[in-house]
Copies of this chain bind each other. A is one copy, B any other.
Amino acid sequence: MTRAAPNPARRIREDIESRIHSGEWRPGTRIPIEQELAARYGCARATVSKALAELVAAGLVERRRKAGSFVAHPPVHSAVMTVPDLAELIAARGEAYRWEARAVVRRKNAGEADTLQIDGIHFAADEPFALESRTIELAEVPAAAEANFAVEAPGTWLLAHIPWTSARHVVRAIAATRAEAAALATNSGAACLQLERDTWRGDRPVTHVRQLFRGDRFDLVAEFQAGTGKRDPG
């Protein structure tokens, strides 16, 4: 058997990538068929296929049976948003972080499982940074009943204790109510960024949060990196 070159798949991927990035192969361009690529790079078709599969995962390429592989049209409208853990975010800024709980209430729901309702404020350098209002489903996270949310912010606690989740975030600009404005040390009607997050484990709800930030103190960043193929789970 012919011995393999060190990294054919990688070479193929990077070659195609650079052709796409350079504009030589524009969106919609048909990529040579796998057989031909295999011949050109001197490797097995499975290797070409793997390289193409990675490019598909990166969003650079689309493949259709019989039709062939094509340079994908740029999905400019999707990007990875980093939703901060507030304790981390503020610590990273070098400011003192503090969490102050205003209310921790266990709600008994007739027939259904109980929920925990937690309201509080995140402080950065002793100034109010975000209002938080959270509901935790005790059926999914029974251990939450024992946690002391007067001391630790529930988001931080949950991150460390929940097995796995999927989540949906909704970002919206709203005007602060009088009460919210007071809590955030701003004026009534001020523009605020509201982040709502629903979290599930499988298909069962785990927690719902609403976080409210002063518009002049916080913004969200989302990045779209075409085809780097980077996986950096940190």
Contacts and interface: CB of A to CB of B under 8 A. Distances in A.
Interface stretch (A120-128, A144-152, A191-199): A191-199
The 7 A-B pairs of least Cβ separation, nearest first, read A173-B215, A173-B173, A191-B191, A173-B193, A172-B219, A23-B163, A169-B222
B192 A189 contact: no
Contact of A233 (B75, B190, B194): B75
A224 interface: yes
A91 interface: no
Question: This chain: how many copies in the complex?
Answer: 2
12 contacts: A21-B164, A60-B164, A76-B167, A78-B82, A79-B169, A81-B81, A164-B226, A166-B226, A167-B224, A168-B223, A171-B222, A191-B191
Interface in A23-78: 23, 26-27, 56-57, 59-60, 62, 71-78
Interface residues of A, number: 67
